[in-house]
Amino acid sequence: MLVREFAAGRMTATTRRSGLVLTTPAARHSRSSIYAPPVAFLDTAGRREELSPDRAWWLRVPAVLVGPRPVFFALRDEDPDDVAARSEPILLLVGLAGAAAVLATPTADGLLDNPDYDAMVLAVWAFIAGSIYGAVGYFVLGFAVFFGARLLGSLGSFRRERQLVAFAAVPVALSFLLILPLRLAVYGGDTFRDGGADEGTGEAVLLGFQLVFVAWSLGLLLIGVQVVHGWTWPRSLAAVGAATALLAAIVGLFATI
């Protein structure tokens, strides 16, 4: 019976290492229908228009919060167009992170006690001081990471280490967009006055909340060093530790002046 069906064309045979496999036309049709959708999908995906470098890097700004490894891996690309496409996102991140840092200083707490300051002047001050803080931090922190990486044998550029720092600072930049509106909603103008309603437990809670974002950025920095350089975790941690030691030495030097 099997021989007659095979001769009649109702069965076909294929050979594999495990032996003879018999298939029917219905099975062949079912198999082709199973594989057709993925093939069609891949063909469609191949025809999709690729993202421009500028748009791709803007999309990587929020992406670093949920999937940091591909974002940091993309920093390895040294193509001039790709490198140039990072400039605007980095400028925004540096400004927001700098503003978050400057508004966390004791100077900001009492600005509205000065009669020369109102809400508009405060906003201008935060923008200018935040830009300065951000730029200084971008280069100083970038140099510290560059120093730590070189100490552990990296041949990467100073530019790439600066950009790594900028994308690691996304949580700090995000804290500016989240914590400042929350403080203003709860405490209003007392946010920038000494001895206002924001003193006490509420201020301690908000400070702890902000420190969570700082710790998040430090974690991203460690991941970034590990991914960009392709190192082991201990080696990456040693590089970040060396960078931290250099920063501590710089701060200590200025504190004694």
Q: What is the pLDDT of residues 217-230, one digit of tens each?
A: 999 999 999 999 99
What is the pLDDT at residue 197? Answer: 62
Q: What is the DSSP string of 50-75?
A: PPPHHHHHHHHHHHHHH-HHHHHHHT
Average pLDDT over every residue of 116-123:
87
Q: What is the pLDDT of residues 125-173, one digit of tens each?
A: 999 999 999 999 999 999 999 999 999 999 889 999 999 999 999 999 9
The percent of residues in the chain predicted with pLDDT above 70, rounded, is 79
Please provide the distance, in angstroms rounded to a whole number, between the alpha carbons at the two ends of the chain. 100
Q: Where are the domains of the chain?
A: 2-47, 53-256
Is-contact 86 57, C-beta < 8 A?
A: yes
pTM higher than 0.85 for the full model?
Answer: no
